[in-house]
Amino acid sequence: MPIITLTTDIGQQDYIVGAIKGQLLSADASFNINDITHYLSQSNYPQAAYVCSNAFKYFPRDTFHIIILNLFEKQPNDILVARYQDQYIICPDNGILTMIAGKIPEHIIALDIRYLQTLLEFTALISDTIRKIAGGTPLEEVGTPIRSITEKFPLRALINTNWIEGQILFIDQFENVVINITKQEFEKERKGRNFKILFTRNEVIEVISNNYTSVNEGEKLAYFNSAGYLEIAINKGNFAGLFGLKGYTEKMQQQNASTQNRWFYQTVRIYFE
């Protein structure tokens, strides 16, 4: 019973997600289909990589992960199927694969979709491809082996002797804010020193909490979440909205106007002393 996950930017207000699941089940009724999310932001690749990488690692080997993200930003030529960490990632050739993997996986094939026009034509091809691979067809026989793909890589925190600066990766539905600083990076740079977490212009947190119960209702806190990333929040409050924090997007990076002003609301800096 092959396991398949679906992660998209489609939303769930129309029939498309249901139709894709129908295609998969028509290809093989034994497929076990699981939703990750259908509310990715089309322009926020770091957010998509954060969600995907931290969900995928909990699935068993040989799981097929379908990612549909920003598919029609330009006319797509290929869908990639990659073998990565004993699982399969199926996604457009738009950089999301290397954002998740942090490198070009060893085994990748391309499915030529230039002759297709609609999303459901693409996903029909994906459904048939998964059926073949699950049935034992070698990866290199279901598509064209490829090494030259679009490359984009995860955001890295900026590190200095006395500070580390991270970007906002993700803002959840409760407006808690995830920063691209891991506990391992934090402790490595901290070296046992005191610290101040500074966001916007003058807001400070000086303690790492275990969880929400560490502070009173309405108080702000910082802690390392289940994925090991720094998260800042308010106990029973909307942190991002209250402080005007915004998630990173490629469009924001490309727009040079007012970049300095935006940067205050997209980054968090930790000072060590």
pLDDT tens sequence across 111-127? 988 888 899 999 999 99
What pLDDT shows up at residue 170? Answer: 87
Instruction: Break the chain into its structural domains and give their ranges.
Output: 3-145, 158-272
Distance CA(224)–CA(230), nearest Å, equals 5
Cα distances (Å, whole numbers) of residue 19 to 114, 172, 223 = 21, 27, 40
Same fold, 3-145 and 158-272: no
What pLDDT shows up at residue 179? Answer: 93
Under CATH, to which class is 3-145 assigned?
alpha beta
Q: Tell me: the pLDDT tens digits for 56-113?
A: 999 999 999 999 999 888 777 889 999 999 999 999 999 999 999 999 999 999 998 8
Beta bridge partners of 108: 82
Distance CA(61)–CA(241), nearest Å, equals 39
Average pLDDT over residues 24-44: 94
Q: Structure pTM?
A: 0.87
Q: Shortest CA distance to 111 belongs to which of 87, 132, 84?
A: 132
Q: Tell me: the pLDDT tens digits for 210-236?
A: 988 899 999 999 999 999 999 999 998
Angle between helices 119-134 and 16-27 (to 10 degrees): 30
Query: Which CATH number, 3.30.365.10, 2.40.30.90, 3.20.20.70, 2.60.40.10, labels domain 158-272?
Result: 2.40.30.90
What pLDDT shows up at residue 130? Answer: 97
Cα distances (Å, whole numbers) of residue 6 to 9, 230, 259, 262 = 10, 26, 34, 33
Q: Tell me: the pLDDT tens digits for 239-249?
A: 888 877 776 55
CB 82 within 8 A of CB 22: no
Q: Tell me: the pLDDT tens digits for 129-177?
A: 999 999 999 999 999 999 899 999 877 889 999 999 998 888 888 899 9
The percent of residues above 70 in pLDDT, for the chain, comes to: 93
